[in-house]
Amino acid sequence: MKYLVFFIYLCLEKCIGDIIVGALFDKHRGKIDTHSIAALKYAVESINNETAENEPKLVYKIMNIEENNPFQAMKKTCELLEEGVIAIFGPQNLKNFEAIQSVCDAKEIPVIQTRWNAKSRRGSTVINNYPHPDVLSKAYLDFIKVWNWKRFIVLYDNDESLLRLKEILKLTLDRSYTIIIRRLDQYNTGIYRTILREIADSDLTNIFIDTRIDLLQELLQQSQQMGLMNKRYNYFINNLDTHILDFWNLKYSQTNITSIRIINNVRNSKEATEALCVKVEEDELYSECYLRTAYSLIIDGVMMIQKTIKDMKDVPNFGTKKLSCSSTDSWEYGLSFMNLMRTKSFEGMTGFNKFDNAGYRSAFLMEVVELQETGMIKVGTWTAGGGYNLARMGINTSTTDQGESLANMNFTVQITLTKPFGFLTESPNILVGNERYEGFAIDLIKALAEMEHFNYTFVLREDNDNGSKDSSGRWSGMLGELINKTTDLAITDLTINSQRAEAVDFTSPFMNLGIAILFQKPKEAEPNFFSFADPFAFDTWAGLFVTFLVVSFSMYFLGRLSPSEWTNPYPCIQEPEYLINQFTLANSFWFSTGCLMQQGSEIAPIATATRMIGTMWMFLILILVASYTANLAAFLATENPEKLFTDVTSLVENADSKNIRYGAKKNGATYNFFKHSKNPTYQKIFEHMRSHPEDMVKENSDGVKLAMETQYALFMENTGIDYEIQRHCNLVMYGDLLDNKGYGIAMRKHSPYRSRLSSAILKLQSTGLMDNLKRKWWQEKRGGGQCVAEDTQAATPLGMKNVEGVFVVTIEGLAIGLSIVLIEKYINISRMSKQSGISFWNMLKHEMKCYVDFENMSKPVLRGAEEENEEEYQEYSK
Ligand code: GLU
C-alpha cells in the first residue's frame, strides 16, 4: 500500500502533473512588480487555453524579492526549486539575478533573463532573450553613420550605459567626429538642467540619449523647458521602451526624435497590453497599461518553454524534479532542456525569436520610430545584416500630398536687402523684430502668414548671397543656411533653376522673369549731311525717280500719238500746211519737273490722255510732298538715337570695337544660366565673364551703378531692370528676354509645407494681390514712377510700303492715258480718212510714219478730193 501511494505520487508529479514555471521578481521601492507578474500570468493562461486536455498544463509560482537582496534571492530560489520548477524567470536587478543564477547553475535549472546584460556568458544556465548587447551597440553605431552625425552629445545615466555605447565611444578616436559625453544625474537629484543648459549654449544639435525609461520623460520635459525641443535638434533614444511614453507635449515641437523598439507592431499587442492593464487595476485602484520590452520578453520566454516541453515530452522518463538546496542533486534533464530551448525559433511578441550558435539572440528586427504629430510612428526597420531600411512606412503620404497645416508654426524666414524685395524700414523710431524690414518679400510673407496662420521671424542675410554650389558640392548663401537648418524659408529674388531644385524645395513661382540687358539709353546721333533725304527710304526715292522717267517719256510718246496735241502753229491760218506738237522730249521732262517742284510750267497738256497722265503725276507729287513734309517735321522733332547695339548678339559682336564692358552678378542665377547654356553666343558671354572677373559685380546694384556711369552692359533679370529703369532715367532695357523662369520661396528638401505655401501663392495670384504688391513696390514706393515713359518711337523713313498705293494709282493713270490715246487716234484716223478720201490704212501709215520721225515735231496735213488726195498721198509718201 505504501508503494502504491508512492507510485501515484510519482505519477502525479512526473507523468501527468502540471509543469511549474517559477519566477522571482524584485520589488521596486517596496512595490511588487505587478506588470511582470501580470505578463507571466497572461502568458501562462493564454498558453494553457491553447493546450489540449490531455497535455500537461503550465502553472506559475511567483515570488517577490527585495531589490538588491541576493541572500533573499537565493533563499527564494531554493524554495522554488523545492516546488519542482522547470525554469525560473529572473528579476531585473543584477545582484539578485546573479545569486539566483549561481543556485540554478548548480541545480541545472534554466534561468530566463529578460533584460540587457553585457555579462551573460555561454555555459551557464541563463537564457537571455534580450537582444544581444554587441548587436544593439552596432545598431546605435549604424544610426550615427546613417544620419551622418559628425558632432553630437551623448547623455547617459549609469555605468551600464557606457558598456552599451562601446561602439560609439570608439568613434572618439576618429578625428572627424566631435563627441561630447555627459553623465546625466550622478547624484539622482532628478535635475538635468545644468547639462541641458550646456547643450543650449553650444552649437551641438544632435543628442544621443541612453537612460532608463523612468528618467526619460522628465529629461525630455526639462529639455523642452531649456529650449532644446525645436526643429533644430535631433534626438536618438536607444531605450527600447519609448512607446510607453506620452509625447503629447512634444508632438508639435517639430523636434526630430527617433527611437527603436523590438516589440513588433505595438498596436497589435493590444490584447497583451490590456491584460497587463487589467491586472494592475485589480491591484492598485488605477490603471497603468503598458507593455514594456521586458514584459514581452517574459511572454516570449513562456512560449519558448512551452515549445520545448512539447519536444521533450517524447523523451523517456522526462519529468521535473523537486530539488533541495541542501543536497548536491541536480535536474538530470536540465542541460538538455536548456540546449533544446536555445534551438527554438518562433514568432513572438518581440518578433522572430531565434538564438545563434553561441546561444545569443543576435538576429532580430527592430522597428525605427519617429515622433510625429500622431505619436511615435514607425518609419523603418533595422536588422543586423541589412542595417537601417528607412522606407518611412509610417508617414501617411496622403497628408504629405495635401501639405501639412502651417497653423501656429514658427518659421525663420531669411531675407536679403535686394531691391525691392527687402529694405530697412525708414523710421525716426528705433524698430525691433520684423518691423525693421519692409519690401515686396516682407509683404508677401505677411500675406501668406495671414492666410495660413503661421508665425515668422525675419533673419537678414547681409551679404545678399542667394546661394550657389561650390566645387565641393557645398551650398553657400541662403540655400546653404536652409540646408544646414539654420532657417526654414528663404525669400528674395531667388531664381528657381534645376540645380537649386535638386538641393532645396521651391514653392510655385510667385513672379515670372527672364534675363535681359540693362544699358544706358542711346545718345543722340550727329546730324547727317543728307538728312533732307531721311523722310523717304531709298526705295521710295528710287520709285519716285523711276516714275518721273516713266511719266516724262509717257508725255513725250503719248503726246506725239495724241491727235489733239498736234496743233496749228499759226492760228490765223484756217487750214495750216502742217501741225506742230509741244511735247518734245525736253518739254516733257520740263513739264514733269515743273510738276515735281510744284512750280508748274508754260507747257499745258491739251489731249485727254496727256492731261490724264499729268493729273496722275501731280496727284502723286501732292501726296509725296505732303508725306515728305510731315515726316521731315517728325525727323527734325525727334532725336535720332545712336544704338551701340540692339540685342545680345550685336552686343557680343560690337563689345570690343565699341568699347563696351559687360557682366552679371557673380555666382547668381544669371551667371549660371550662361555657364550651363549650350548656345554658342551665350557660351561666348560665359567665356567673357570667366576671363573678365573685373566685369562681374557682387550685387546687381553695383552693376546698375556701373551701367549709369560707364559703358557697361549688365545682364540682369527683367524684374530688376523694370525696377531700375523706373528710377534711373538714363538706363533702358535692350533686347528680348533670353530665357523664362520664376522666383520661388525656398525651403528644405521634402518639406511638408511646400504644397500649402504653393497653393496659398496661387490664391494670392488669382485674387490680384500679387499684382498689387508688384505695383506698390515697383512703381509707387521708393522713387517709383520717376522716369515718365517717353515715347521713344523714333521717326522712321517712309518706305515704298507706306506709299505704294499712290504709285500704283499713277501707273494706272498712265495705262488709262494710253488707252484713251489709242481710241482717240483710231477715231481721228477714221475721221481724217473720210474727210480726205484717203483710205484708213494709208492714213494710218502716214500717221505712223510721222510718229516715228522723232526728229520732227511737225507733220503735214493731208486734205482734198478723194482721188486727188490719194495721188497727193502717193506723192507725199514717196
Ligand atoms: N536672382 C538671381 C539668383 O537667384 C540673382 C540675380 C542674378 O543672378 O541676376 O541668384
For 789-852, the three-class secondary structure string (H helix, E strand, C coil) is CCCCCCCCCECHHHHHHHHHHHHHHHHHHHHHHHHHHHHHHHHHHHHHCCCHHHHHHHHHHHHH
Instruction: Write out the H or E segment, with its range, that includes residue 88.
Output: strand 85-89
Say whether pLDDT at 718 is over 90: yes
Pocket probe for ligand 1: among 495, 696, 721, the residue whose CB has the most ligand atoms within 8 Å is 495
Please write the tens of the pLDDT for every residue from 148-174.
899 999 999 888 888 889 899 999 898
Statement to judge: residues 156 and 259 lie in one domain: yes
Pocket probe for ligand 1: among 440, 714, 717, 740, the residue whose CB has the most ligand atoms within 8 Å is 717
b/e code 258-267 from CB counts within 10 Å (16+ = b): bbbbbbbebe
The per-residue pLDDT of the chain, averaged, comes to 85
**C-alpha 520 to ligand 1 mean position (Å):** 21
- Binding-site entries for L-glutamate: 495, 500, 670, 717
342 occurs within a structural domain: yes
Q: How high is the pLDDT of residue 266?
A: 56
Mean pLDDT of 536-554: 92
Statement to judge: residues 820 and 868 lie in one domain: yes
Q: How far is CA 355 from CA 97, 338, 345, 597, in A?
A: 21, 12, 7, 118
Statement to judge: residues 283 and 394 lie in one domain: no
Query: The domain spanning residue 497 has which CATH number?
Result: 3.40.190.10
Q: How high is the pLDDT of residue 393?
A: 39
519 occurs within a structural domain: no
Statement to judge: residues 454 and 580 lie in one domain: no
| Angle 33-35-38 from CA coordinates, rounded to 5° | 110
Statement to judge: residues 288 and 173 lie in one domain: no
Statement to judge: residues 599 and 697 lie in one domain: no
C-beta 414 within 6 A of ligand 1: no
C-beta 665 within 6 A of ligand 1: yes
Q: How high is the pLDDT of residue 492?
A: 93
| Number of domains the chain contains | 5
530 occurs within a structural domain: no
N-terminal to C-terminal alpha carbon distance within the chain:
187
Instruction: Please spell the DSSP secondary structure of 285-321, one letter per residue.
Output: SS------HHHHHHHHHHHHHHHHHHHHTTSTT----
**What atom of ligand 1 comes closest to residue 467's alpha carbon?**
10
C-beta 669 within 6 A of ligand 1: yes
Statement to judge: residues 510 and 591 lie in one domain: no
C-beta 744 within 6 A of ligand 1: no
Q: What are phi and psi of 656, to 5 degrees?
A: -70, -50
Statement to judge: residues 716 and 595 lie in one domain: no
Please write the tens of the pLDDT for every residue from 80-115.
999 999 999 999 988 999 999 999 999 999 999 998
Say whether pLDDT at 395 is over 50: no
Instruction: Please spell the DSSP secondary structure of 178-194, one letter per residue.
Output: EEEEEES-TT--S--HH
Please write the tens of the pLDDT for every residue from 426-452.
888 888 888 899 999 999 999 999 988
**What percent of the chain shows pLDDT beyond 70?**
90
Please write the tens of the pLDDT for every residue from 139-153.
999 999 888 899 999
C-beta 91 within 6 A of ligand 1: no
Say whether pLDDT at 279 is over 70: no
> In this predicted structure, which of 333-347, 613-627, 679-693 has the lowest mean pLDDT?
333-347
Statement to judge: residues 324 and 339 lie in one domain: yes
Residue from 240, 313, 290, 305 nearest 87 by CA: 305
Residue from 728, 670, 714, 720 nearest 511 by CA: 720
Say whether pLDDT at 407 is over 90: no
Q: How high is the pLDDT of residue 662?
A: 93
Domain span including residue 46: 17-131+271-361
337 occurs within a structural domain: yes
Statement to judge: residues 499 and 647 lie in one domain: no
Helix axes 213-225, 193-201, angle to 10 degrees: 50
Q: How high is the pLDDT of residue 301?
A: 92
Q: Model's pTM, two decimal places? A: 0.48
Query: The domain spanning residue 165 has which CATH number?
Result: 3.40.50.2300
- Bridge partner list, 423: 438
528 occurs within a structural domain: no
6 occurs within a structural domain: no
- For residue 252, how many other CB atoms are within 10 A of its CB? 11
420 occurs within a structural domain: yes
From start to end of 349-487, where are the E strands? 351-353, 365-372, 375-383, 387-389, 410-416, 423-424, 437-438, 455-461
Q: What are phi and psi of 658, to 5 degrees?
A: -100, 10
96 occurs within a structural domain: yes
**What atom of ligand 1 comes closest to residue 500's alpha carbon?**
4
Statement to judge: residues 242 and 279 lie in one domain: no
Statement to judge: residues 586 and 695 lie in one domain: no
Residue from 627, 684, 678, 699 nearest 653 by CA: 684
**C-alpha 493 to ligand 1 mean position (Å):** 6
Q: Distance between CA 37 and CA 44 in Å, rounded?
A: 11
- Cis peptide bond N-terminal to 420, omega within 30: yes
Q: How high is the pLDDT of residue 371?
A: 87
Q: Using the structure block, give the residue that is written with the C-alpha cell 514733269.
A: 592
Q: How high is the pLDDT of residue 399?
A: 37
Cell output for 381: 526597420
Q: Distance between CA 160 and CA 239 in Å, rounded?
A: 13
- Binding-site entries: 495, 500, 670, 717
**What atom of ligand 1 comes closest to residue 515's alpha carbon?**
9
